[in-house]
């Protein structure tokens, strides 16, 4: 039975009237299937949908996914076009994943979740575009965080040694989903992969943050050329830059000589007290202009952490093209903290709850496909405003029909009340 027939028969919540009926399953039909037509029993979109469904229910490994789907065969046969009412085996999931266009899969998933957000979102440029830059208001800006991730389960040692699969991703911090992801070709190639990732993009006034690896003049200029603003951390790989910023803030504030702004946050929980104090200045813009493009502010963040009676201090330095009007101190401090959402809200949950590091599949591009689908699961759960991913997977384990609804119906028709 085709999903379009199912959509017509199923009842959609009344608040969804007027909303474009585009399901994740329908979106996945746009992913190119590179298999030959002969012997093709399951559509790629069906196999990918089953993978997402099983992952929503907490399944990690392909064998476990195949077994769980088999237990749901009766329900799935009624709602998905399965071959003679049968479900795929583990090898089918592996084979299909290795014969789709993984770049297109990442693009399809990213654009699907872009369509669910109300915030202004970056766009992919057409060939030879003519772009008119429009300055976005600070409160409307999308925050994108770039970072790399290694899938440790794909590493092999011994005679058949193999390096771990490494990817670099662009995470939409504002809307909580991985917008773009790309494989890194080899060790030490993350910067090159990051440049390739943003090559076709226009950031529409977004703020793009990255860790110290990408603190390079070329990267900063690339973000500016694509209509964005950069936020970067200065560490030892840019020692001259770091030392210049450190020297500026080496003395107590002297507003009569060097005007600056400051902000402070205090967090206390679980026996840990953390104080963050930011100082920001526009005084180095002209000094750094010969090498670093459009530096509007530099900053220092002092972190003081007290735990079990022991106190530690850490200084972090950075620079940004955001002016003091666009990013006053409190907002600038918040941006630096939110950058790490890509680690806490994406990478960590993929590793710990979705078991990405425990999955030891190494065939071709299969690890990249599974990583993309893990990003999809996180985006769905975050869209539903469910902060506890483990609790969400337990919910869907016992209610697989609700998880299937999320994939076959427009996701925009659901909200956090689904878990009530």
Half-sphere exposure of 167 (CA within 13 A, CB side): 27
**CA pair distance 382, 302, nearest whole angstrom:** 31
Residues 23 and 6: their CA atoms lie apart, in Å, by: 12
Contact indicator for 229, 207 with CB cutoff of 8 Å: yes
Sequence-separated (6 or more) residues with CB below 8 Å from residue 155: 162, 163, 164
Q: Could you give the CA distance from residue 419 to residue 259 in angstroms, rounded to a whole number?
A: 51
| Tokens at 61, concatenated | 């490994």
What element of type H or E holds 64? helix 62-71
CA 248/CA 243 separation, integer angstroms: 9
316 token code pair: 């972090």
Which pLDDT belongs to residue 140? 65
Q: Angle at Cα 357 formed by Cα 354 and Cα 360, nearest 5°?
A: 110
Per-residue pLDDT of the chain (420 residues; tens, 9 = 90+): 344 333 333 333 333 333 343 899 999 999 999 998 887 899 999 999 999 999 999 999 999 999 999 999 999 999 999 988 899 999 999 999 999 999 999 999 999 999 887 544 555 555 444 444 444 444 568 999 999 998 876 766 555 666 778 999 999 999 999 999 999 987 789 999 999 999 999 999 999 999 999 999 999 999 999 999 999 999 999 999 999 999 999 988 887 778 899 999 999 988 889 999 999 999 999 999 999 999 999 999 999 999 988 999 999 999 999 999 999 999 999 999 999 999 999 999 999 999 888 777 888 899 999 999 999 999 999 999 999 999 999 999 999 999 999 999 999 999 999 998
- Distance (Å, whole) CA 4 – CA 230: 43
Strand order through the sheet with 207-210: 177-183, 165-172, 143-151, 207-210, 229-234, 310-320, 297-307, 272-281, 260-269
Instruction: Find out whether 175 and 119 touch, Cβ atoms under 8 Å.
Output: yes
* Main-chain dihedrals φ then ψ at residue 32, nearest 5 degrees: -70, 130
How much is the pLDDT for 161? 63
At 117 the pLDDT is: 76
Q: How many CB atoms lie within 10 A of CB 256?
A: 6
Classify residue 58 as left (phi > 0), alpha (psi -120 to 50) or beta: left
**Could you tell me if 55 and 49 are in contact, meaning their C-beta atoms sit under 8 angstroms apart?**
no
Nearest of 344, 347, 24 to residue 169 by alpha carbon: 347
What Å distances lie between residue 186 and 193, 210, 230, 237, 251, CA to CA? 10, 20, 26, 20, 43
């Amino acid at each position: 039975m085709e999903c379009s027939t199912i959509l017509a028969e199923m009842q959609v919540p009344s608040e969804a009237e007027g909303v474009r009926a585009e399901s994740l399953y329908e979106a996945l039909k746009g992913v190119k299937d590179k298999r030959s037509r002969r012997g093709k029993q399951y559509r790629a979109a069906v196999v990918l949908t089953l993978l997402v469904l099983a992952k929503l229910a907490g399944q990690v490994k392909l064998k476990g996914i195949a077994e769980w789907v088999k237990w749901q065969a009766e329900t799935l046969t009624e709602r998905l076009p399965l071959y003679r009412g049968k479900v795929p085996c583990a090898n089918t999931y592996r084979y299909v994943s290795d014969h789709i266009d993984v770049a297109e899969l990442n693009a399809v998933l990213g654009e699907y979740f872009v369509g669910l957000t109300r915030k202004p979102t970056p766009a992919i440029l057409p060939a030879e575009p003519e772009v008119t830059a429009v300055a976005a208001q600070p409160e409307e800006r999308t925050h994108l965080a770039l970072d790399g991730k290694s899938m440790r389960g794909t590493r092999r040692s011994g005679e058949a040694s193999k390096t771990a699969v490494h990817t670099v991703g662009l995470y939409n911090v504002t809307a909580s989903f991985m917008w773009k992801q790309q494989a890194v070709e080899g060790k030490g190639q993350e910067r090159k992969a990051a440049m390739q990732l943003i090559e076709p993009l226009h950031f529409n006034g977004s703020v793009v943050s990255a860790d110290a690896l990408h603190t390079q003049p070329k990267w900063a200029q690339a973000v500016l050329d694509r209509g964005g603003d950069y936020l970067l951390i200065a560490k030892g790989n840019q020692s001259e830059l770091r030392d210049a910023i450190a020297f500026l803030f080496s003395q107590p504030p002297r507003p009569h000589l060097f005007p600056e702004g400051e902000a402070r946050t205090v967090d206390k929980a679980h026996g840990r007290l953390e104080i963050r104090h930011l100082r920001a200045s526009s005084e180095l813009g002209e000094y750094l202009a010969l090498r670093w493009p459009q530096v509007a502010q530099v900053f220092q963040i002092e972190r003081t952490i007290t735990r079990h009676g022991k106190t530690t201090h850490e200084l972090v330095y950075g620079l940004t093209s955001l002016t003091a009007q666009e990013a006053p101190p409190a907002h600038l401090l918040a941006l630096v903290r939110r950058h790490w959402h890509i680690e806490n809200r994406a990478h960590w949950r993929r590793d710990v709850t979705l078991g990405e590091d425990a999955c030891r599949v190494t065939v071709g591009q299969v690890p990249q496909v599974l990583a993309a689908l893990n990003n999809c699961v996180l985006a769905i759960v975050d869209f539903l405003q469910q902060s506890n991913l483990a609790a969400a997977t337990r919910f869907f384990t016992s209610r697989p029909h609700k998880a299937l609804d999320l994939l076959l119906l427009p996701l925009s028709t659901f909200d956090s009340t689904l878990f009530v």
